[in-house]
Every structure is written in C-alpha cells, then in structure tokens.
C-alpha cells in the first residue's frame, strides 16, 4: 500500500462514517414510512431535535454513553454499528477493492467500476438492515439494484470486457433461480420465505453471474440453516418460526463475490 493510499484511507473512513449515519436515517425513516428528506433528526423517544454535536458518527454515541441527553432512553446500538460497518466498507473498498478495479484501462470504466461496487455495497447494507429489522424488503432497493447491475453488465458487454454470451447465461440463470425461489415461496405457503426474496434473487444472481450464482445461493441456505439452528439452540427462536432471509442472501452473495472463483475451482477439483 502506497503512502497516498494510506493517508487517504482516513478521510475515506470518515466519509464512510458519515454515509453510515445517513443510512441509519434512511433505514429508520423507511421502516416508519416517513419521507427521506423531510424533518430534522430527533430522539426516537422524546422527539427532541438533536443538536449537531449529538449527530457526530460514533463519537456522539460514545460521549453520550448510548443514551439520549434529555430523556436518557437508550439509543439503538444499530446506529454506531452501521456507522462503523459503513466506515469499514469504505476503507476496504479503497485499500483492497481498488486493486480489482484496475483490470481495465478504459478511462470511463476506471470511474464507473469502483463507483458501481461501492453503490452495490451500500445497497447490500440497506437491504440487510431493513429486512433484519422488519422482515421486509422495500421494492425500491431491489429495483435500484436491478437497474444498477443490468446497466453495468450491458455496459461491460458493450465495451467487450464481459462477453454477451456470459450476460445471456447470467440472465437465464437468474431467471431460473427466481423461478426456483417462486416455487419455494409457493410450497412453504408463503411463510418460510418472503416474496421480496423471490424478487431480490434476480439482481443478486446477475451480480454473481453464471455459474457462481449457484454457489452464492447455496451459501445463503447453508449459513441461514446454521444461524437458524444456533438461534433455536440458544432459545432465541422456535422450530417453524421464520427468520428474515435477505441477510443470508446478502452474506452468500458477498462471500461468492469475494471467494467465488476459488470456491468454484475447489469444487471442480473435488468432482
């Protein structure tokens, strides 16, 4: 890592914290059905409008010791956690992710490619959080992911980095996966599985590409089953109780994007 990369990692981390702070507002307002841009940040409990120094990512939470200054109600731990995770996402993207993006010498793509993956990372976080908190995936998040990845893939095919044949296979594979999820949704009588998951798998399949989307989906089920089992064992859940599935789809997709190629060659060496 060069020293410029290193020193710029600090403002990038702070930028990530600020974006994380914004994501908290976005997620909380989306859960309550409020407008995104209206109203100032306030305490969820007593409704007091927050001062600027109560809205500094991470620091405010630490200084206030996780409580509202006036009503002393505990602040949701989600706020500092999301800020920290977003900060880490930004630093990871800057320090490690950028190495992946340098595969192209097309000037326009050198900007579009990193921007695309950062936006995907942010959308992943938003979908993960909203589904975890409310067992619901807003349509706008799936639509945003869908158009983002479709335009990106078509663009890559157009400049010749991605083969049209691969794009066709990915579209076909994502459609088959979606049908499979629709089938699961129907046979579990719409209980084990949300229709949001059926819609979400399409853009996720398209992001992973064919045949890696199979690995990502398998990982989602495997991690989901493991976590479900642990929750039952520690008494947090009972058999038959549902757990939001989108967080596992996001985890499966992320592992697949990071390690899919190694996992695929492992699998091929094994059979």
The nearest distance, CB 48 to Zn ion, in angstroms, is 5
- Give 45 or 133: the residue with its C-beta nearer to Zn ion: 45
- Give 43 or 119: the residue with its C-beta nearer to Zn ion: 43
Contact 156, 214 (CB under 8 A): no
Angle formed by the axes of helices 164-187 and 212-233, nearest 10°: 30
The nearest distance, CB 54 to Zn ion, in angstroms, is 10
- Give 29 or 237: the residue with its C-beta nearer to Zn ion: 29
Contact 204, 142 (CB under 8 A): no
**Dihedral sign from CA coordinates of 210, 117, 56, 88:** positive
The nearest distance, CB 143 to Zn ion, in angstroms, is 35
Binding site for Zn ion (CB under 5 A): 43, 45-46, 68, 71
- Give 54 or 83: the residue with its C-beta nearer to Zn ion: 54
- Give 43 or 88: the residue with its C-beta nearer to Zn ion: 43
Please, which residues bridge with residue 172 across strands? none
The nearest distance, CB 43 to Zn ion, in angstroms, is 3
The nearest distance, CB 11 to Zn ion, in angstroms, is 32
Q: Residue 142 and residue 225: Cα distance in Å, rounded? A: 24
Q: Which two tokens stand for residue 243?
A: 């757990």
CA distances in angstroms from 101 to 55, 93, 221, 229, listed in the order given: 34, 10, 29, 38
Q: Which phi-psi region, left, alpha or beta, contains residue 240 (left: φ > 0; alpha: ψ -120 to 50)?
A: left
């Amino acid at each position: 890592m060069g020293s410029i990369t290193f020193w710029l990692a600090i403002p990038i981390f702070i930028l990530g914290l600020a974006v994380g702070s914004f994501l908290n507002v976005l997620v909380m307002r989306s859960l309550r059905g409020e407008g995104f841009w209206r109203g100032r940040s306030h305490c969820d409990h007593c409704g007091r409008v927050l001062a600027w120094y109560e809205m500094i990512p991470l620091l405010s939470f630490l200084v206030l010791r996780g409580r509202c200054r006036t009503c002393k109600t505990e602040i949701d731990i989600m706020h500092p956690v999301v800020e920290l995770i977003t900060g880490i996402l930004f630093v990871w993207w800057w320090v490690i992710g950028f190495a992946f993006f340098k595969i192209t010498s097309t000037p326009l793509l050198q900007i579009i490619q990193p921007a695309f993956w950062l936006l995907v990372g942010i959308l992943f976080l938003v979908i993960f959080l909203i589904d975890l908190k409310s067992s619901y995936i807003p349509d706008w998040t799936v639509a945003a992911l869908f158009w983002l990845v479709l335009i990106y893939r078509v663009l890559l095919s157009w400049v010749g980095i991605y083969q049209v044949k691969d794009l066709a296979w990915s579209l076909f594979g994502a459609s088959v996966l979606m049908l499979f999820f629709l089938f699961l949704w129907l046979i579990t009588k719409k209980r084990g599985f949300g229709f949001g998951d059926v819609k979400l798998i399409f853009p996720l399949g398209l992001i992973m590409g064919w045949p890696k989307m199979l690995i990502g989906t398998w990982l989602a089920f495997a991690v989901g089953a493991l976590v479900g089992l642990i929750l039952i064992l520690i008494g947090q859940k009972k058999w038959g109780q549902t757990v939001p599935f989108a967080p596992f789809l996001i985890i499966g997709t992320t592992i697949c994007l990071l390690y899919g190629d190694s996992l695929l060659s492992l699998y091929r060496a094994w059979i």
